Amino acid sequence: MMFSQSRRQTPSTSHRFLGRLLLVLLTTSAQSEAESTSARPRTWNQWRGPSRDGIVDGPKWPTSLSETALKSLWHIELSQSYSSPIVSADRVFVTETREKKTEVVTALDRKTGKVLWKREWEGALSVPFFAKSNGDWIRSTPAFDGSSLYVAGMRDVLVCLDATSGAQKWRVDFTQQLKAPLPDFGYVSSPLVDQDAVYTQAGASVVKLDKSSGSILWRSMQDGGGMFGSAFSSPIIADLCGIRQLLVQSREKLAGLDLATGSVLWSRPIEAFRGMNILTPIVFMDHVLTSTYGGKTIAFKITREGSQFQSTEAWTHKAQGYMSTPVVINGVAYHHLKSQRVMALDLASGKELWTSDKSFGKYWSLVGHDDQILALDERGELFLVKANPNKFEIQAQRKVSEHETWAHLAVADDELFIRDLRGLRAWKWTETPSL
């Protein structure tokens, strides 16, 4: 009886024991979830990556691009394309145009490069003579939502494919369905998937579709199509003044659209030579940044009173953008220009922090992580740049292709996927520092 009494727990002791047990269980659960999340392969699922802003997370990058630090995993030969590779947890999806008449989508094993399936259709288009140097092949980057792949073909066609099998789920021909003229430069804008919808700039307009069926839900901002219509830029979704909206740039305008109805919330004309509004708009603190060939770099401040939006110029800079969309790190935009130089801009003030003395290629695809930027130019040169607001600083440089590399660089975990005009190569950092 005394033994039994000595082992009895008081209510307060029991509560403390249960509290400690609950804390252990919660901690273990949180650790397991964190480990599970960290073990899950990161992806590159759309134009400019997971957040559509060129910024990725994951393991810290090294400061070297040497042959011992960055090694080739596999390589596959392909016909020409400008589409960025799309990277899922276990696959890589690529596009190509063959023999100037057929568009092809291929699914590859992410680890080995083995072909898992192919899907093709007739879909070539010849661009105007002054753009011939940039080729007639497919341009738009597909979007992947975890189960379906949304691919834009040059002849203003959007195709939804089952990512597992490659089977076609639906197909929309905007020229037929909307009675729109073929875009002279092809379907350039990259589709955006959000919740149950696909948003794209096609059919000489901006269009929202039901992602399960391809049904057109609304059409907005119609233009003439042809030579001076049909967008070169790609849409994003942004929260401006507390309202989530679709941000688009056409050949002549920058605008915010209501996601539900497509109605124009605000709009600004944008000056550009031959309508070369190519950059994807950049959003920061209720401001929108754009920069054009033949125009200038402009930051618009967006304000709202009730349901009415206003847009005003916050600042301008004489520098002209071209095809390269900036990345933003700690309030600074790192911007590759029409002049082929690189500039750092303070976004709050528009102040030029520095411009590189050296010029590079015509195009940089940019991916940022922490205080570093990977930049791939069209000459096959890969640069590792320090995101330093005080000076231009290249940490490493390496030739990664003998062919032109216009497709956007894709980065997932410690792997890089580089698409040149003759194929796709997967790379892996072997000297990646721990977090």
Q: Is the pLDDT of residue 9 over 70?
A: no
- Amino acid occupying residue 208: K
pTM of the model: 0.90
Q: Which fold has domain 82-231?
A: Lipocalin (2.40.128)
Q: pLDDT by residue (tens digit) across 346-361?
A: 999 999 999 999 999 9
Work out the mean pLDDT of the chain and round it to a whole number.
91
Residue 432: predicted pLDDT: 59
Q: Does domain 233-325 have CATH number 1.10.357.10?
A: no
Q: pLDDT by residue (tens digit) across 125-179?
A: 888 877 777 788 999 999 999 999 999 999 999 999 999 999 999 999 999 999 9
Q: Is the pLDDT of residue 97 over 90?
A: yes
Q: Is the pLDDT of residue 37 over 50?
A: no
The mean pLDDT of 12-23, rounded to a whole number, is 51
Q: What is the 3-state secondary structure (H, E, C) of the chain?
A: CHHHHHHCCCHHHHHHHHHHHHHHHHHHHHHHHHHHHHHCCCCECCCCCCCCCCECCCCCCCCCCCCCCEEEEEEEECCECCCCCEECCCEEEEEEEECCCEEEEEEEECCCCCEEEEEEEECCCCCCHHHHHHCCCCCCCCEECCCEEEEEECCCEEEEEECCCCCEEEEEEHHHHCCCCCCCCCCCCCCEEECCEEEEEECCEEEEEECCCCCEEEEECCCCCCCCCCCCCCCEEEEECCEEEEEEECCCEEEEEECCCCCEEEEEECCCHHHCCCCCCEEECCEEEEECCCCCEEEEEEEEECCEEEEEEEEEECCCCCCCCCEEECCEEEEECCCCCEEEEECCCCCEEEECCCCCCCCEEEEEECCEEEEEECCCEEEEEECCCCCCEEEEEEECCCCCCCCCCEEECCEEEEEECCEEEEEEECCCCCC
Residue 396: predicted pLDDT: 97
Residue 225: predicted pLDDT: 84
Q: pLDDT by residue (tens digit) across 275-334?
A: 889 999 999 999 999 999 999 999 999 999 999 999 999 999 999 999 999 999 999 999
pLDDT band of residue 362 (cuts 50, 70, 90) is very high
Q: Is the pLDDT of residue 32 over 70?
A: no
The mean pLDDT of 96-112, rounded to a whole number, is 97
| Structural domain spans, the chain | 56-80+364-405+407-435, 82-231, 233-325
Q: Which residue has the higher pLDDT, 18 or 368?
A: 368
Structure tokens given for 429: 């950092």
The mean pLDDT of 68-84, rounded to a whole number, is 97
The mean pLDDT of 355-383, rounded to a whole number, is 97
Q: Which residue has the higher pLDDT, 124 or 62?
A: 62
